[in-house]
Amino acid sequence: MPQQFIQPQQNHETVTDPINRGQTGVGTEPLTDVLDAVLDDISTALDENAEEYVSSFVQKGGQ
């Protein structure tokens, strides 16, 4: 007797803007503020010493 395998159904939803998918706009402002603050911190670090900041991401032997 052959075995039957059930394939899970996939939702083939068309998304024109994947960033805003599922967001209603409510409660997204605090997240935007947090992300802006992080980006400002990175920008400040790059303005002060970009070479040191970038070199901290370089792998050393065995890492």
Model confidence pLDDT, tens digit, residues 14-41: 656 656 555 555 566 788 999 999 999 9
- Is the pLDDT at 62 greater than 90? The verdict is no
- Contact 63/57 with Cβ under 8 angstroms? no
Distance CA 50, CA 31 (A): 26
Higher pLDDT, 25 or 9: 9
Domain boundaries, the chain: 28-55
Global confidence as pTM: 0.42
